[in-house]
Amino acid sequence: MKPRLLIVVDSDPRTSGRPAEAIRVAAGVGTWKKVEVSLYLRGPAILSLSEYSDEWIDEDNFSRYLPILREWGRPVYVQAGAPELAELGDALVPFEELGDDAWARLAAQSTQVLRF
């Protein structure tokens, strides 16, 4: 069985480069296909999926690496009911809302968890 990596992002792409870096890391590690990578976005980090990322910090990482995540055929996970979902508009990748219990189970099933 492959190791499982969960990347949790809760920082705001409008004020921090951490979400862009997390997406770059997820795409890079996932490309190896030796680790099953899941990306979970909470709060303002959900805006990272927006098609309008031209004002985000390190904006090139979003347009360059989000398409790689789409190729995995799995959704990006986002915090269920987050107010930022109303601001998102059209997302660049498919996503699935997870409640706190579901993302806690995802974390428990992961070999490693990284937080950005």
- Is residue 5 within 8 Å of 106, Cβ to Cβ? no
What are residue 110's phi and psi, to 5 degrees? -90, 145
Whole-angstrom distance, CA of residue 41 vs CA of residue 33: 21
Domain ranges of the chain: 4-115
Q: Which amino acid type is present at position 36?
A: E
Cα–Cα distance for residue pair 37/31, rounded to 1 Å: 9
CATH hierarchy code of domain 4-115: 3.40.1260.10
**Whole-number pLDDT of residue 34:** 93
- Please give the chain's pLDDT, 116 residues, in tens: 899 999 999 999 999 999 999 999 999 999 888 999 999 999 999 999 998 878 889 999 998 999 999 898 889 999 999 999 999 989 999 999 999 999 999 999 999 999 99
Which sign does the torsion angle of CA 56, 39, 8, 24 carry? negative
Give the pLDDT confidence score for residue 1 in this predicted structure. Answer: 83
pLDDT, position 32: 87
